[in-house]
Amino acid sequence: MNYRHIYHAGNFADVLKHAVLARLVTYLKQKDKAFRVLDTHAGIGLYDLSSEEAQKTGEWREGIGRLIDAELPAPVAAILEPYLSAVRDLNPEGGPEGGLTHYPGSPKLARMLFRPQDRLSAMELHPDDYEILHRLFDGDFQSRITRLDGWLALGAHLPPKEKRGLVLVDPPFEVEGEYERLVDGLAKAYRRFSSGIFCLWYPLKKGAPIKDFHEALKALEITKMLCAELSVRSDRHITGLAGSGLIVVNPPYTLKGELDTLLPFLKTRLAQDRFASARCFWLRGEAPLNRGP
Ligand code: SAM
C-alpha cells in the first residue's frame, strides 16, 4: 500500500468528486429521516496543504486553488455552495495562496454537512492513515472509523440500519484490475442495498479500459446509473492522471442537470491544456420527472 492521498488532496479529481459528494449529501438532507454515508476508502480525512507532502506535488493549486477565489456564475455558485462552504469553514483565518491551508477529505466533508441524526462509517486500511483518521473522529458518536478492507465493507456493512444513504467507493487504483473490482464490488453491494446511492470514482489516463468498464457496468442489473467525466489535459504525453470519472447509481433526480451546468464550467476553469473535455450521460436509465428525495 504505497498510495497516500496527501500528495493529491484538493487536486482537480478531488474537486469533481467532492463537489458531487456534497451535492449527494445535501440531497439526502431534504428528508428528515436519518441516513448513513459509507466511505469504503476514506483516507485521513483532513489534509494540511502546507505539509511537505502536499507542497511537493502542489496538485491542489490546479484544483481547489483555482476555484476558491474564482468568480462563479450564479448557477455554478449555488451548486458548489455546500462544498466550498465546507472548505472555507476549515480555513477561517485565510493564509497564503488563496487562504488555503486545510482541505477536507471525503469523510470529513460528508460529516461537516451532517445533521445530528446522520451517521458515517469510514474504512481505511493503511495503518498510519487509519490512525490519523481515527484520531480525527475520536469522540464523535456520529462516526465509526474501522480498519477494514473497504471491499469487504461493501458486503458486511450493507444495508445500513437507517436503510437510506450513500456509499462512496474511491480506491487508489495502485494495483491491476481495479476497474473490474469496482464493477464486482458494485454488483455485490447493489444486491444488498438496491435503494442506496452509490458513487464510484475512477481514473482517466492513457490506456485505461474505460469502454470495457462502462460496458461491464451496463451489463449489471441496475436501472439508474449516471456517468460524469472530466479530463483537464490530453493523456498523450503523460503517464499520470489526465482526468477522472464518477459513476452515480440511483442519482438524485436533480444531479444530471447540476452536472450539465457544473462540468462545462470546471472544464474551462481547471483546464491544463486545450484538450480538456467533460461529459455527463446516462449509462443506464433516466431520471423520472417527479421523484422526491
Ligand atoms: N476518499 C478519500 C477522499 O476523497 O478524501 C481519498 C481516498 S484515497 C483515493 C484511497 C485510500 O484508500 C487511501 O487512503 C488508501 O490507504 C486506502 N485503501 C487502499 N486500499 C484499501 C482497502 N482495500 N480498504 C480500505 N482502504 C484502502
The confidence score (pLDDT) of residue 99 equals 80
Are 203 and 173 in contact by the 8 Å Cβ rule? The answer is yes
Are 188 and 152 in contact by the 8 Å Cβ rule? The answer is no
- Reduced to 3 states (helix: H, G, I; strand: E, B; else coil), residue 143 is strand
Active-site position among 170, 184, 235, 260: 170
Name the burial class of residue 230, with classes exposed (0-12), middle (13-18) and buried (19+) by CB atoms within 10 angstroms of its CB. buried
Say whether the peptide bond before residue 159 is cis (omega within 30 degrees of 0). Answer: yes
Per the annotation, the verdict on 170 as an active-site residue is yes
Q: Per the domain annotation, does 237 fall within a domain?
A: yes
CA of 171 to the centre of ligand 1 (A): 5
Which residues form the pocket of ligand 1, taking CB atoms under 6 Å from any ligand atom? 1, 3, 5, 17, 41-43, 105-106, 123-126, 129, 149-151, 170-172
Q: Per the domain annotation, does 234 fall within a domain?
A: yes
Domain count, the chain: 1
Q: What is the pLDDT of residues 147-198, one digit of tens each?
A: 999 999 999 999 999 999 999 999 999 999 999 999 999 999 999 999 999 9
Q: Per the domain annotation, does 17 fall within a domain?
A: yes
Q: Per the domain annotation, does 291 fall within a domain?
A: no
Q: What is the DSSP letter of 7?
A: G
The confidence score (pLDDT) of residue 238 equals 83
CA 261, CA 228: separation in Å to the nearest integer? 12
112, three cell numbers: 461537516
CA of 45 to the centre of ligand 1 (A): 10
CATH of the domain at 154: 3.40.50.150
The confidence score (pLDDT) of residue 96 equals 58
The answer on whether 118 is annotated among ligand-binding residues is no
Are 17 and 170 in contact by the 8 Å Cβ rule? The answer is yes
* Averaged pLDDT for residues 38-56: 95
The confidence score (pLDDT) of residue 237 equals 82
The domain in which residue 114 lies consists of 11-45+105-284
Q: Per the domain annotation, does 218 fall within a domain?
A: yes
Q: Per the domain annotation, does 83 fall within a domain?
A: no
Q: Per the domain annotation, does 233 fall within a domain?
A: yes
Are 66 and 271 in contact by the 8 Å Cβ rule? The answer is no
- Reduced to 3 states (helix: H, G, I; strand: E, B; else coil), residue 147 is coil
Q: Per the domain annotation, does 76 fall within a domain?
A: no
